[in-house]
Amino acid sequence: MKKLLLLGLMLIVLTAVAGCGGGEGQPQAGVEPVNLTIAAAASLQDAAGELKTIYEQQQAGVKITYNFASSGTLQKQIEEGAPADLFMSAGKSQMDALAEKGLIIDVSRKDLLGNELVLITGKDGSLSSFEELTGASVVKVGVGTPETVPAGKYAKEALTHLDLWDKIEAKLVLAKDVRQVLTYVETGNADAGLVYRSDTVGSDKIRIVAAAPAGSHKPIVYPMAVIKSTKYQKEAEDFAGFLQSAEAARVFEKYGFKPLETNS
């Protein structure tokens, strides 16, 4: 009888241990994963994709879904109530607008990345300077729509500083986001375009003509912040923390960004 009781106790203990022995990082049975929606500037697409893979491997209970568009478009979507847990903007003005309306958690706002504005042309294009944009050989110049696309705003500032905006305005082809500008030049639908340096990484169909001169436009800064209406504030803050890690910084640098603040 004692042996039967002992065996019964051992089975209970073994069952309890097995129930607690799930692998590290594995979600508990029956627990739904947290789905984070990240509103991210279109220029972040490549780097963000790699970071999603890394983070989901580390945090098995979290799934990342991105909504990529121009920062101005994302700002309007968030203002209209579109679901978003974290906003990663390519410009400060869009984040400022959300802050003024009380739509972000102010203490979560961080300046994450920097970038560089560059003039590009097709791989075999002969363009060699900004000044040559006025020449007859350049028929179309792609830029983001300045009112909604931060890269377009920086482009207008730089071209105005160089006394070129008015001279080439008739040649401008406005794009919904900076990635569309890249596509215009890659496909030959524009002879030149202004994009971020990070957009040129991995493209073998274009070449960089020149970087916008220092001081020709406002500093390029990518701020991020947790959206106040999120149902997953802790998880969104954790993901934001990961984006500031040394591991994430290496990925951002790989794609041509300049990390501004890194947590060791």
The pLDDT of 215-223, averaged and rounded, is 97
Least confident of 1-5, 49-53, 103-107, 241-245: 1-5
Q: Could you tell me the residue ranges of all domains in the chain?
A: 33-114+221-259, 117-211
In terms of DSSP bridges, do strands 141-144 and 221-226 run parallel, antiparallel, or are they unpaired? unpaired
The pLDDT of 217-244, averaged and rounded, is 98
* CA dihedral over 191, 197, 198, 202, signed as positive or negative: positive
User: In this model, does residue 264 exceed pLDDT 90?
Assistant: no
Q: 117-211, what's its fold?
A: D-Maltodextrin-Binding Protein; domain 2 (3.40.190)
pLDDT in tens, 111-158: 999 999 999 999 999 999 999 999 999 999 999 999 999 999 999 999
Average pLDDT, the chain: 91
Give the residue from 220, 218, 190, 192 showing the smallest Cα distance to 207: 192
33-114+221-259 matches 117-211 in fold: yes
What percentage of residues in the chain have a pLDDT greater than 70? 87
Q: Give 1's contacts (C-beta < 8 A, 6+ positions apart).
A: none
User: In this model, does residue 6 exceed pLDDT 50?
Assistant: no
Q: What is the pLDDT of residue 44?
A: 97
What percentage of residues in the chain have a pLDDT greater than 90? 85
Q: What is the pLDDT of residue 263?
A: 67
**pTM for this model (two decimals):** 0.83
User: In this model, does residue 19 exceed pLDDT 50?
Assistant: no
User: In this model, does residue 14 exceed pLDDT 50?
Assistant: no
Q: Structure tokens of 3?
A: 């042996």
pLDDT in tens, 160-212: 999 999 999 999 999 999 999 999 999 999 999 999 999 999 899 999 999 99
| Contact predicate 38/88, CB 8 Å | yes
Residue 261 pLDDT grade (very low, low, confident, very high; cuts 50, 70, 90): confident
User: In this model, does residue 246 exceed pLDDT 80?
Assistant: yes
Q: What is the pLDDT of residue 23?
A: 42
Q: What is the 3-state secondary structure (H, E, C) of the chain?
A: CHHHHHHHHHHHHHHHHHHCCCCCCCCCCCCCCEEEEEEEEHHHHHHHHHHHHHHHHHCCCEEEEEEEECHHHHHHHHHCCCCCCEEECCCHHHHHHHHHCCCECHHHCEEEEECCEEEEEECCCCCCCCHHHHCCCCCCEEEECCCCCHHHHHHHHHHHHCCCHHHHHHHEEEECCHHHHHHHHHCCCCCEEEEEHHHHCCCCCEEEEEECCCCCCCCCEEEEEEECCCCCHHHHHHHHHHHCEHHHHHHHHHCCCEECCCEC
Which CATH number describes the domain made up of 33-114+221-259? 3.40.190.10
pLDDT in tens, 27-80: 455 568 899 999 999 999 999 999 999 999 999 899 999 999 999 999 999 999
